Amino acid sequence: MEIYLVGAWLVATSTAELVAIARLRAMLARFHRRELLSTPSMVRELPSVSVCIPARNERHAMTRCLESVLGSNYSKLEVIVLDDESVDNTSSLIKSFAKDGVRFVDGSTPPVGWLGKNYALSVLLGEASGTYVLFLDVDTVLAPHAIAQLVAYAESTQSTMVSVLPQRSDVWRMSVVVAPLRYFWHVLFHRPSRPVAASSAWMVRRKALVQDFAELASLRSDVEPEVTIARKYLAEGAYRFLTSHQLLGVSYEKRMSSQIETTIRLRYPQLGFSVWRSVLSCLLKLGVGSAPCAAAIVPSLWPLALASYLLGAYCYLLYLLFVWERGAWLGMWLWPFVLLGDAWLTLVSMIRYQTNSVTWKGRPITSQVAREEV
């Protein structure tokens, strides 16, 4: 009986991995472009862009982010940074770039019902004047040509919104090799009701955003406002998602602590604030992630266990080839450990929301989050 149960487990795991491989290949081929989207002559004709960056206790990344934005070859550009009541020297770092044209906005405590980042985005939107608003996380780094490429793509496809999955250039760090699978699941389960959208870098037509979402007031408690916005414009055929590459030039470096905090904040809402979905998700990840260990239970099934491991590693490789600049062929072998870690964070997210103990950048957020299915 034991051999049949373990064999069924391995067959089910391998089947799920084959389905995921087919799905990932289709999605990533759809979202990836390798050609240049603009030429220097085109850039002169493109509309203005407001780069808006919310920052809270970001001294570790602030300077590099701003230097990359200011190094842009896009001339019709304004850069606005909001300091969201930082308690480190983030404010001073931002102000030191005033001579380069960076506009500093002094943030304030969010009103009741607002999540801190959403309120910061709303304030930045009110300060912006460009045709497009490009929202960046402080961890994001842009190549000189990146903004021109994004705007050219938005104009050529008549898109209201474009978001970018950035690449990781700092590969050999613990925060990368065992990073949570946040965007992996986004890409794998992309659908009209929940489109994949990246918070690290997303650009939208300013007037449309102001008009359609009341300067983000209608999204004040949404933990992923960029996904809700993308859903509306995807339904109108006006949303595009891109995976980055060297020609596009969007990358990011995010600390492990920030990735864990982000995953805990997002995972339970992504599962519709549902306990049973969260538990089922954990069990499925545990089942797939631990499948290679089946050979220790029933040694005669080692070929099936090996096949499951190789399929999972290949599935992960498909994703890594798009999000890592190098090292994907080595990182793929860590697939079981990454999946098991993601299962643990899913469970922690559920428990933290159930106990009203979720925080973001030091602020409690559970009471502000609207408990509706995403």
State the Cα–Cα distance between residues 61 and 18, nearest whole angstrom: 39
Query: For the residues 20-39, what does the mean pLDDT come to?
Result: 79
State the Cα–Cα distance between residues 251 and 167, nearest whole angstrom: 4
pLDDT at 29 (0 to 100): 84
pLDDT in tens, 133-144: 999 999 999 999
State the Cα–Cα distance between residues 286 and 341, nearest whole angstrom: 9
pLDDT at 374 (0 to 100): 39
pLDDT at 1 (0 to 100): 64
Any idea which of 47-61, 98-112, 246-260 has the lowest mean pLDDT? 246-260
Structure tokens, 102: 């960076």
Q: What are residue 351's phi and psi, to 5 degrees? A: -65, -40
CATH 3.90.550.10 domain residues, the chain: 31-254
pLDDT at 370 (0 to 100): 47
Q: Residues near 8 by Cβ (< 8 Å), separated by ≥ 6?
A: none
pLDDT at 335 (0 to 100): 94
Give one DSSP letter per residue of 274-313, joined into a string.
-HHHHHHHHHHHHHHHTGGGHHHHSGGGHHHHHHHHHHHH
On the question of pLDDT at 171 being above 70, the answer is no
More confidently predicted of 92 and 179: 92
Cβ–Cβ under 8 Å, residues 11 and 304: yes
Half-sphere exposure of 33 (CA within 13 A, CB side): 13
pLDDT at 299 (0 to 100): 87
Query: Please, what is the angle between helix 275-289 and helix 2-31, to 10°?
Result: 100
Model confidence at 373, pLDDT cuts 50, 70, 90, reads: very low
> Mean pLDDT of all residues in the chain?
90
Give one DSSP letter per residue of 310-363, joined into a string.
HHHHHHHHHHHHHHBSS-HHHHGGGHHHHHHHHHHHHHHHHHHHHTT--EETTE
Region of 110 please: left (phi>0), alpha (psi -120 to 50) or beta.
beta
State the Cα–Cα distance between residues 89 and 352, nearest whole angstrom: 30
- Helix (H) / strand (E) element for 181: namely none
SS (H, E, C) 213-274: HHHHHHHCCCCCHHHHHHHHHHHCCCEEEEECCCCCCEEECCCHHHHHHHHHHHHHHHCCCC
Model-wide pTM > 0.85: yes
Give the Cα-Cα-Cα angle 350, 265, 108 (nearest 5 degrees): 140
More confidently predicted of 326 and 86: 86
pLDDT at 115 (0 to 100): 93
Q: Where is mean pLDDT largest: 173-187, 252-266, 332-346?
A: 332-346
pLDDT at 34 (0 to 100): 60
Give the SS3 label for residue 164.
strand
DSSP label of 96: T
CATH of domain 31-254: 3.90.550.10
More confidently predicted of 208 and 244: 208
Query: For the residues 77-81, what does the mean pLDDT come to?
Result: 97
pLDDT at 369 (0 to 100): 63
State the Cα–Cα distance between residues 374 and 369, nearest whole angstrom: 12
Query: For the residues 143-160, what does the mean pLDDT come to?
Result: 92
State the Cα–Cα distance between residues 318 and 324, nearest whole angstrom: 11
